[in-house]
Structure 1
């Protein structure tokens, strides 16, 4: 039984609800079924735990019914912020409405869709739910690892700062003791050079002191040097963070070419094959730059550009459009929507790097 994720099923028909119940049976412990009569407070109470990712399933005969329910839900969340950003939405509708379902997924309203009439392919629906659940929980684990990593790095940075202060203190003390011992040796020299004929024995004793003091000075400086070296060796070293570039293109060849160009130049690269996947990845990372293809299935570059610019945390991330089309009107539209530049495919390494370095 999967306890890492909550599932909310929106539905109208009892028949459809029974189908979904059979698919989810003994799979997820935390499930809420919501129809038009479900009390909002019941739904809000179910969503109290914002630490778990949520899979929303919209199971309706018609896509329009799912859209209507989704708009109510979006408005409720806008007013009361009932869930976190760790969620995905699956639309399940009749086969005759699949074109409308595809269109809504391409706009980003739902992550994906499945059909259940006239044929009930329950295994296919079950597979989609399982895959989306795996994606959600894996993202949640990545977020947890990233938080742990940040905490460890913060602790190491604190330790590094403390060791730096110890190193500074040792250097200061080394200088102070060096000066004091130098002064002591100088005073012993003066005693040796003075008129001590009345006490030859005292003079002999004083002359014996000087090499001992010099040995102590040498030992003292060696000790401080060794301690300083150990402190420097114990200080954690932090590699400079590589700039992250998110490349969004439906052509795997183009993704591979751009990755091959950027990684040897010190860039970290994330890839996505459509706009919906890109938006999902942007929930977990904030790149220094997005390279965004215009022509893509599911959710094209123009729609993705608009969506990114509407997210406050990402609105200032520079976006360079990728396109095989030389239509200037498309470039103008992208610039008006917030893109900073464009690159015509296919491109060469020199042009790509020049454009990227100009904005990073």
Structure 2
């Protein structure tokens, strides 16, 4: 059994003839040294088809747009150069913020702790202890394989759990709507029945009145009565045999409507039970909120508040870090501070809304100013709501719930 398993794994990714099939995906190696970049390329060429090299500060945005890499390998001899390159790429290249991308940074032993912290904070996706080249040079290829697999999974990822939960809550409202409509329908049927009964009584009274007028001689020019008792009996028979059956038929029509309403509710009960179960499950789902704020004290306050209300949290200290996180994460809602260094909240919101994947992600702006133009500009940038600092905790939670419940998957 173990040998069969190993053989099945070995055959994965091979052609029928047993030859290796390179993994699909474009890799770009960025470096300030042609020799270093070529060395990395040599290590990868047997595993991947599309590998490109980019060197020179003047090629930073152009090469990325030209090659559209899925994985960016930062092969610089110092961490400072790698950070500077990636920050410049983010500043100058709109495309890097609008496509899924994985970053792998190559480092030496003296930098490994710093790189670890940067990857932990999601500035970069992964790192390899590379300089000098070790015996485990295949580790780089494996890291890129994992990155490409992650990207493939990201492309096929459907609606988030929170989006499903929002729809489940909408579905759970069906029972209340159905009950309300059935009650209203019953009232309409009752009103219709009363109207028919009143009409029957009214017609009977009108005929009795006509009979009385004729018998009393109130219409001498129209009718001459020779047998008053016979006329009275004939009108009574007419009411009983000709008029009342029609009203009785009209009343009988409403009875099947009452039965249909009750049967309809009974047949809906299994579906309503499913809706209740979905709603119960939806209450267990913890939506993910990305908090973008450069104020540490503010982040701590929001952390305590939202964690206590069962939200998963991601944090970014500015717009660039937020856009970097969004390359790999898909939050259900974003709390965006307006005043931040490097890129303010409105510009960050505009840029993320240009990415189709995040066009429907609700953004709530957090601002210290309540002027009308600030509110208007927030909405124009793509925000669904805003709160003014210092904000009321209950109000913020209410706005978050409202925005999440309004999410409709495309």
- C-alpha distance in 1, partners of 2:236/2:162? 72
Deviations, residues 290-323 of structure 1 (Å, cap 9, x unaligned): xxxxxxxxxxxxxxx99999795678579xxxxx
Which residue is 1:70 aligned to?
86
1:115 is displaced (CA, Å) by: 2.2
| Structure 2 SS opposite 1:145 | coil
Work out whether residues 189 and 210 of structure 1, in 8 Å CA contact, stay in contact via their aligned partners in 2: no
1:19 is displaced (CA, Å) by: 4.1
1:212 is displaced (CA, Å) by: 3.5
- Does residue 267 (structure 1) correspond to residue 288 (structure 2)? The answer is no
- C-alpha distance in 1, partners of 2:154/2:92? 25
| Match among 130, 138, 151 for residue 123 of structure 1 | 138
Query: Which stretches in structure 2 are left out of the alignment for 5+ residues?
Result: 1-21, 212-231, 292-305, 316-320, 350-362, 368-388, 398-410
Aligned in 2, Cα 1:358/1:189: closer, same or farther, shift over 3 Å? closer
- Does residue 178 (structure 1) correspond to residue 193 (structure 2)? The answer is yes
| Structure 2 SS opposite 1:284 | coil
- C-alpha distance in 2, partners of 1:38/1:183? 88
Q: How do 1:278-293 residues align onto structure 2 when only pairs under 5 Å count?
A: 280=325, 283-286=329-332
- C-alpha distance in 2, partners of 1:8/1:115? 19
| Structure 2 SS opposite 1:186 | helix
- Does residue 90 (structure 1) correspond to residue 112 (structure 2)? The answer is no
Which residue is 2:238 aligned to?
202
Which residue is 1:329 aligned to?
none
| Structure 2 SS opposite 1:92 | strand
- C-alpha distance in 2, partners of 1:18/1:39? 17
Between stretches 19-28 and 115-124, larger displacement belongs to 19-28
- C-alpha distance in 2, partners of 1:209/1:123? 91
Aligned in 2, Cα 1:111/1:75: closer, same or farther, shift over 3 Å? same
| Match among 29, 44, 58 for residue 65 of structure 2 | 44
Instruction: Give the RMSD, CA atoms, in angstroms.
Output: 5.6
| Match among 40, 46, 51 for residue 20 of structure 1 | 40
Deviations, residues 230-264 of structure 1 (Å, cap 9, x unaligned): 7899797884766636799xxxxxxxxxxxxx99x
Which residue is 2:31 aligned to?
11
Which residue is 2:15 aligned to?
none
1:172 is displaced (CA, Å) by: 8.3
Work out whether residues 167 and 232 of structure 1, in 8 Å CA contact, stay in contact via their aligned partners in 2: no
1:149 is displaced (CA, Å) by: 5.6
TM-score, normalisation: structure 1: 0.53
1:59 is displaced (CA, Å) by: 1.4
1:30 is displaced (CA, Å) by: 5.0
- C-alpha distance in 1, partners of 2:43/2:394? 50
Which residue is 2:12 aligned to?
none
- C-alpha distance in 2, partners of 1:359/1:11? 45
Deviations, residues 38-92 of structure 1 (Å, cap 9, x unaligned): 5854432333xxxxx8322101333344234324323322xx4544263332111
- C-alpha distance in 2, partners of 1:357/1:271? 21
1:96 is displaced (CA, Å) by: 5.0
Which residue is 1:214 aligned to?
251
Which residue is 1:324 aligned to?
none
Deviations, residues 208-244 of structure 1 (Å, cap 9, x unaligned): 4454343233334444565677789979788476663
Query: Which stretches in structure 1 are left out of the alignment for 5+ residues?
Result: 48-52, 249-261, 290-304, 319-338, 341-355
Which structure would you say has the larger RCO, counting Cα contacts within 8 Å and 6 or more residues apart? Answer: 2
Aligned in 2, Cα 1:62/1:283: closer, same or farther, shift over 3 Å? same
- C-alpha distance in 1, partners of 2:125/2:202? 84
- Does residue 145 (structure 1) correspond to residue 159 (structure 2)? The answer is yes
1:285 is displaced (CA, Å) by: 0.8
Aligned in 2, Cα 1:230/1:99: closer, same or farther, shift over 3 Å? closer
When Rg is computed on C-alpha atoms for both structures, the one with the higher figure is 2
Which residue is 1:346 aligned to?
none
| Match among 266, 287, 297 for residue 244 of structure 1 | 287
Work out whether residues 56 and 90 of structure 1, in 8 Å CA contact, stay in contact via their aligned partners in 2: yes
